[in-house]
Amino acid sequence: MSFKNVIITGTGKYIPEKIVTNADFAKNVFYDENSIKFESDHAEIAEKFKAITGIEERRYANDEQCASDLGTIAANLAIKDADIDPETIDQIIVAQNFGDVKKGTIQTDVLPSIASRIKQNLGIKNPSCVAYDIVFGCPGWVQGMIQAYSFIKSGMAKRCLVVSAETLSRVLDMHDRDSMIYSDGAGAAVVEASEGDTEKGILSYSMETHALDEAYYLFLGKSNINDTDPNVRYIKMFGRKIYEFALTNVPAAMKLAMENANADIKDLKKIFIHQANEKMDFEIIKRFYRLYKERNIPEYIMPMSIHQLGNSSVGTVPTLFDMVRKGECQQIYHDGVRVSQGDHQLNEGDLIMFASVGAGMNINAICYRY
């Protein structure tokens, strides 16, 4: 029996060089949503922030870089890793949310699309290589993978390049404590058709959009201080609502992807979940396993990068996956506690999952046989 598989043949990432620690925010004066200044000193704010999110530092793009520049670097590395001719790519699918935002401005620029800019940067001449963006919140790269899978499975494409790129540092309100969460980064994967005797690659997926009460849990809003232009808007969120939403809905979406793959939870080796908040991610995994009445969560199941890289939105999942593929992820956790240093590894035949949640509110998950 022959299977028409859709597999990842190459990955790449770009982690900006500029490191910003929690201590670097000490110069910022934080206000709540009612423009009332927080009386706590920075050390106390930073300690509570780290305890909840797990973030110790994050990365920002250099002043001359925009999202398309970061995405181009990650894309080039993925193409090189897959050892393909870029002229043979049928689609370039780019997950992004704010386009190119130049340093010193807060105006998003998506004309032309980030995908078209990346295609130009890559020097691809083939007009049949179609380039387009996806705006799907933090789950954008996973959604791009689902889209690539659908086109390849239908026979409308043979090879796709799925890229994520974000510079959230350009759309932050530095008077909002939530500004400490976000970072910049990019990831990419080459996805293509492959005939084989065994079923592997993307096995199944699930996806949801909750857009009634949940639609504006993440939004653009004015600064937390009064004496600023209300028409200049920054990324904002209702953190508690997002936390409760994710814990309620993401585990079920992950389980549905497993069911669609006819997969056994005991066979799952790795979960690459969006690096939004350490505490939230661990609770999602815990609740996911409890849906199977499993309380013993495997020690190596969930690699993490949020401590050093922060939350780069669409960039977190592909960056983390590339890190593990290339032996660059060493934080090991058990029951939500960092227990040791060791190498996360992937072996042929491993069942893994990609999962994410974010603005929209959108959720998705993919079951993948490595």
At 36, is the pLDDT very low, low, confident or very high (cuts 50, 70, 90)? confident
pLDDT (0 to 100) of residue 341: 52
Task: Look at strands 57-60 and 234-237 and give their pairing.
Answer: unpaired
State the amino acid at position 166 in one-letter form.
Answer: E
- Mean pLDDT across the stretch 280-309? 93
- Mean pLDDT across the stretch 275-302? 93
The full set of domains in the chain, from first to last, is 3-198 (3.40.47.10), 202-369 (3.40.47.10)
Residue ranges with strand state E in 197-319: 201-209, 218-221, 234-237, 268-273
CA–CA distance, 332 with 92 (Å, rounded to integer): 34
Q: How far is CA 180 from CA 169, 171, 227, 273, 307, in A?
A: 9, 12, 22, 20, 12
Report whether pLDDT(339) > 80: no
Report whether pLDDT(337) > 60: no
pLDDT (0 to 100) of residue 349: 96
CA–CA distance, 89 with 192 (Å, rounded to integer): 9
Q: What are the residues facing 95 on neighbouring strands? A: 134, 164
pLDDT (0 to 100) of residue 342: 59
Residues sharing a CB contact under 8 Å with residue 313, sequence separation 6 or more, in sequence order: 97, 137, 138, 140, 164, 166, 168, 182, 358
In 3D, which of 72, 69, 96 has the Cα closest to residue 86?
72
Supply φ then ψ for residue 17, to 5 degrees.
Answer: -80, -30
The predicted model scores a pTM of: 0.94
pLDDT tens-digit series, residues 145-176 = 999 999 999 999 999 999 999 999 999 999 99
CA–CA distance, 153 with 149 (Å, rounded to integer): 6
